[in-house]
Every structure is written in structure tokens, then in C-alpha cells.
Amino acid sequence: MARTWAHRPSARAWASPTAAMEASAPLAMAAPTRARTASNEASRTGEVPPAGAVEVMARRAAAASNGLVMAAKIARPCRGRHHRQGICTPDKCFVANPSAPSYTPPGPRSPNGPRPFCEGGLHLMSEISKPAAKPANPNFSSGPCAKRPGWTVDALKDTPVGRSHRAKIGKTKLEELINRTRSVLGIPADYRIGIVPASDTGAVEMAMWSLLGARGIDALAWESFGEGWVTDITKQLKIEDTRVFKAPYGTLPNLAEVDCDRDVVFTWNGTTGGVRIPNGDWIKSDRKGLTICDATSAVFAMDMPWDKLDVVTWSWQKVLGGEGAHGMLVLSPRAVERLETYKPSWPLPKIFRMTKGGKLIEGIFKGETINTPSMIAVEDQIDALKWAESIGGLKALIARSEANLKAVQSWLDKSAWAANLADDAKVRSCTSICMIVKAPFFAKLSPDDQAAAAKKIVTLLDKEGVAYDIGAYRDAPAGLRVWGGATVETSDVEKLLPWLDWAFAQVKAEFEPKVS
């Protein structure tokens, strides 16, 4: 007499070498092979699987994709209390049954071992196998960012180390950097370009302390850096006539409400919020105020409407993968006029001063930096600009960044657990791609556990050497942030995505029982 499936004493037959080998078989063959193995095992052991067991296992094998393998270990009738009550679902069974008195999986389970889930009244022990391929470059940090493809220290061999930046060779290098920047970005000839201290932060502060106060201000904030500029304007400069337009992470404020006859301070792309301004249509061409734009994670990856922008800042460490500590400051003729006709009521430290005797210090914008730059960092940025030119300039840089966003978003559109922080596709950043966890159990976790779960994903991938520095910014919603700037290869992004699924499966197994 054939034994029933419910009376099966062990999982050895279904965890046989044959079944294990199938887990790594080509997906095109996995489903029929697993179905045949299920029938063969049943015939060999005399066990009778419940209706649909073979089909369930075949569907699971066929559903594997992107290098992930769902290895079916055990199939047996669901006896959990929640199933008897008619509320058995994959989500509930995935975590509820290991602790349910009426269901004990046969044999011990290691802490990182497979966990059961339920489908069609069956418990299946399943796990996501580690993907075989890893990104060639695991650097997905949002700053400092990945070096350009093919970069080696040999790129710095022409650095005039040990020489003064004020010597002819040093000034020539600084002028070359400025000129190549203008050429790649298409910055108008009458706009000044300067190399300034303290990265993008220094450039923004330099502009605000030197230019603000002449008229009212509209300050926009939808992520942490924008919030920082609002704080400086209202609490440090203490400019009373300031209107603040805020929006939650992942969204933009209503740009139609901004008055461009006032000075406007804003970020073009929210590095920590994953949201960008789609265009400059909201900025009036005949504006009376200045537009001061922090574009550090936008420049070289997005089209900048230079005629709509009076002050633009960024740092070398972002889209072109340069080194930190140096900022870039671009001034329109209107901004220069403000500098030469307006004197702030507060004192300015030396590194913020751009005028002398009421006139612009032109040398700052010809390579005569205010303080000493790193000539090694200068050489590195020149190398990055040469690379940008070699691949087709700005158009090619933008295309590379957009391709990275497309790869991530295509995966997110199919993901059962992850989503883009930005709901509106028109404003999703192609550089700082921010993701949140949408799995139902995650929303039930405490804020501390949410942060811990997201951090665990980051830690697992770091340990595997798959992705470094992809945690969400500390003030942003718990989740992940993958840099998609032009120096990141799309092939590396595509190889990262299956690993995200793998890491999440481990984290879900650990954290979902806390709220089940």
C-alpha cells in the first residue's frame, strides 16, 4: 500500500543529489526536469504526492530568473492553524509555520537555512541561491563615486607633484581643467568658472554668503542637503524674508509656486532623496532674482539649462568619479553684477571673498585659486574630463546614467519587495537611485528594526564583495541607494540586482517573524 504524503518520514528523497543538481540546471530545462523527478521519486518511494505537488514544483523552477534558483526541498500538506482557518497565503506561511505547534519541518534548520512558504496548500522549503556573477566593480557609493572605467594610478603620471600651483605648470593645469569643463558641459562663454575650496558645500556656502540678502528668498528643500541650505539661510544668515517650500523624500515641492523675482536656492538633483527637477521651464527668463543651484549630483549626468541658472555648484567626486575637497562654482553675468553692486551686512571670511574694491577677482576664474588645491586631484579630474570627451561628451555621459536608471527601474517594476522612493517616473534621479522596501511585513517593523533590516542588506552585500556603500542616507527613509552616475557600468548594475533579491531573502527570514 502506498504511503501518503503526509506520513512521509523525511525529506531525503526530495533533497536528493538529482534534485540538487536541477537547482543549477538551465532554466529552460528546469521545470520539466523537476516535474519528471517528482514523479520518479514518488514511484521509487511509493509515496503519493497531493494533487498539484508536481505542478507547484515545476512552476517554482520555471519562475526562477536573473540567475536565482528557488530550490524546492520539501512538499507536504499545509497543517498550520492559519491554513485550517482558510487564510493560508505565501506571506503568512513563509514565517508562521516554523513556530506553529502543528507544523515542524523534518530535521534541523540552520539559522541561514531555507524557510517554508505555502502555495496551494503545500509547504515548500525554499531558498534563493547566491547568484554566480558579481559586478566587476562593486563601488556604488554616492560620493566619492566609482572611478571611470579602466582607471589606474597611471592616469596621474603627469601630475606636477612638488610644484607650486602658482607656477606656470600648475596654472596651466588649472586652466586646462576649467576649459575642458566648459567644453564638455557647454557652459556659455560669458559665464565664469572657478575652482573653490571645500567641495560642493564650500561652493554653495560661498555663493549664499556672498550673494544673498539683496532681496527676498524662496528656498526649496526635499532632501537633506536642501534642508541644510534652508538652515543656513534662516538660522545662520538669519534672512527674515525667506519662504521655504518643502516636500517629503521622494517628491518635489510645487515649483509653480516659486517666485523667480526673488532669489531662489535649490538642489537640481536630491542626492539623498533620489528626485531630480525634470526641466527649467518653471524658471522665468526675465526673472529679477538669482537662481542658485546646487547641482553636485546632476552635472555631467543631466541637461542643465544654463540660461535659467545664475549660480551652479558641484564637486569632482560625483558623476565623473573625481576626488573630494574641491568645488566648482559657475557664475552668470547677472550673478557677477550682484557681486559687484551688493555688499552683505555680515563679514565674509577670506575663502568666501570674490570681490576686491567692488570688482570681481577675475583670477579666481582663471585658475588662480583662493587656497592651495591638490594637483593630484586636479590631474585626476583632467583625466576624467578626457575620458568624457573620448566617449562622446555630455550626450554619452547622460546616456550612460539613464541606462543605469533603466536597468534598476526595470527590475523594480517586477520586484515583489522593492520600489523606487520616487513614485513619479518623470522626477526619478538617474544618479542617486533610491529604493525603499515595500514588502508588507517591513511596514510593520519598528523604525529601528526597519533601519536594522536595511543595514543588514547592505552588510551582506559588502561582505560578499558585491556592492559597497549602498545604504540610504542617514536622514532618508530606510532603504538602499545605488549610484548610477556615468562612471558606473550598466553591466555591473545588472549583475548587482539578483544579489539584492538574495540579500533581501536572508533579511526577510530574520525580521519577518518579529511581526508575524
Instruction: Point out the residues of the chain with pLDDT beneath 50.
Output: 1-106, 109-126
Residue 19, pLDDT score:
40
HSE (CB half, 13 Å, CA atoms) of 158? 11
- The answer to whether residues 274 and 421 touch, using CB atoms and an 8 Å cutoff, is yes
Residue 127, pLDDT score:
64
Residue from 140, 4, 49 nearest 435 by CA? 140
The domain defined by 393-511 folds into: Aspartate Aminotransferase, domain 1 (3.90.1150)
Residue 128, pLDDT score:
84
- The 10 Å Cβ neighbour count of residue 165 is 20
- Bridge pairing between strands 479-483 and 432-437: antiparallel
Give pLDDT tens digits for 354-390.
999 999 999 999 999 999 999 999 999 999 999 999 9
DSSP string for residues in 314-371: EETTSTT---SSEEEEEE-HHHHHHHHH---SS---GGG--EETTEE-GGGGGT--SS
CA gap 58, 30 in Å, rounded: 8
Give pLDDT tens digits for 412-428.
999 999 999 999 999 99
Say if pTM beats, i.e. exceeds, 0.75.
yes
Each domain of the chain, given as residue ranges in start order, spans 153-390, 393-511
As a whole number of Å, the CA-based R_g of the chain is: 29
| CATH level 2 (architecture), domain 153-390 | 3-Layer(aba) Sandwich (3.40)
Residue 108, pLDDT score:
52
Buried b / exposed e over 58-86, threshold 16 CB at 10 Å, is bbbbbebeebbbbbbbbbbebebebbeee
CA gap 204, 328 in Å, rounded: 9
Helix (H, G, I), strand (E, B) or coil at 219: strand
What single-letter amino acid sits at 231? T
